[in-house]
Amino acid sequence: MVENDPISLPALLLLQVVAMYILFVVFVRKKQNKLISEKEIMQQGFTQQLLQSQIRIQEETMSTLGKELHDNVGQLLSSTKMLIGVMERSLENPPEILTTADNTLSKAIFELRTLSKSLNREWIEQFNFIENLTAEVVRINSAKGIQVHLSHPKELPLKTGQQIVLFRIVQEVIQNAVKHANANTIVISIVQELSLLKVTITDDGRGFDMEQVEKGQGIINIRHRTELLSGNVEWTSGVEGTRVNVQCPLEIYQLAPNGLQA
């Protein structure tokens, strides 16, 4: 008969203790990982809510500005145009400068109405990205100062709110090129590749010092809006011009009609 090894019992107890310790460590690490994951999700949610609040305030401010432009400045321009028209009709041979002023005012009123419309909240609720970007391109091209070329699909698989956010991004990039780049041409390309939407905007302007540009409010707004679309944006700028690439994944987020998360 084989006698029991006196070392086997303590060894078994030690093995059990080690096993329990390993299980405890694994449990604690899983718990820590879960807490870290929940913290990251909460942080992302907080960041999204903060960005949404900032965008909501900007949209409300722009809507108020649009109404002021239409109701006040627009009425002043219309009244001035009417007075010029009265003056023209009262003269047998109105001077050319008067006719030029009348035509210039007509263009200014058209530009103002188009701009105020693009800022109006009621217009936003029936928003279509392709239609409104096309209208924006026509408006800029009509001024004869800079030419914008646009290529795009027939429609985008985006909800109204998503289209508004994307439009504001493109609008901001265009305005930066028009105001600061001294460009002659802007090319906008919109391409859908499977579940990814790519928007590329290039100009032939003088380029930017990206270290200074990064601090600008316009660039900050673009980054915030791109983050709302769970996308990313990159700038390349030099002596031959500036290129902005915006990429957004499709069908992974839901936005309400006002451009904010439902």
Distance from C-alpha of 102 to C-alpha of 83, rounded to nearest angstrom: 10
Average pLDDT over residues 107-131: 72
d(C-alpha 190, C-alpha 153), whole Å: 7
Dump pLDDT digits (tens) for 139-176. Answer: 888 877 889 999 999 888 887 778 888 988 998 899 88
Distance (Å, rounded) from C-alpha 231 to C-alpha 195?
Answer: 12
DSSP one-letter code for 251: S
Counted residue by residue, the chain has a size of: 262
Radius of gyration of the chain (CA): 30
Residue 57 in this model has a pLDDT that exceeds 70: no
Alpha helices in 91-196 (DSSP H): 96-119, 121-124, 129-142, 160-180
Can you say how many angstroms the Cα of residue 233 is from the centroid of all Cα atoms in its chain? 10
pLDDT tens figures, 60-114: 666 666 666 666 777 777 778 788 888 878 888 888 888 888 888 887 777 777 6
As a whole number, mean pLDDT of residues 200-210 equals 85
Q: Report the predicted TM-score, pTM, of the whole model to 2 decimal places.
A: 0.57
Q: Write out pLDDT tens, residues 213-224.
A: 666 777 888 888
**Res 254 pLDDT > 50:** no
CB 197 within 8 A of CB 153: no
Question: DSSP string spanning 152-176?
Answer: --S--S--HHHHHHHHHHHHHHHHH
Mean pLDDT for the stretch of residues 26-34: 81
For residue 27, give the H/E element and its range.
helix 8-68
Q: Is the pLDDT of residue 119 over 70?
A: no
Alpha-carbon span 143 to 39, nearest angstrom: 51
Region 119-132 average pLDDT: 73
Mean local confidence (pLDDT), 123-127 = 66
**CA gap 191, 69 in Å, rounded:** 34
Q: Round the average pLDDT of the chain to a whole number and report it.
A: 77
State the average pLDDT over residues 249-258: 52
- In the structure encoding, which two tokens stand for residue 123, read together? 């217009």
Phi, psi (degrees; rounded to nearest 5) at 29:
-65, -40
Confidence tier at 187 by pLDDT (50, 70, 90): very high
Mean pLDDT of 192-208: 89
What are the domain boundaries of the chain? 29-124, 131-262
Provide CATH code, domain 131-262: 3.30.565.10
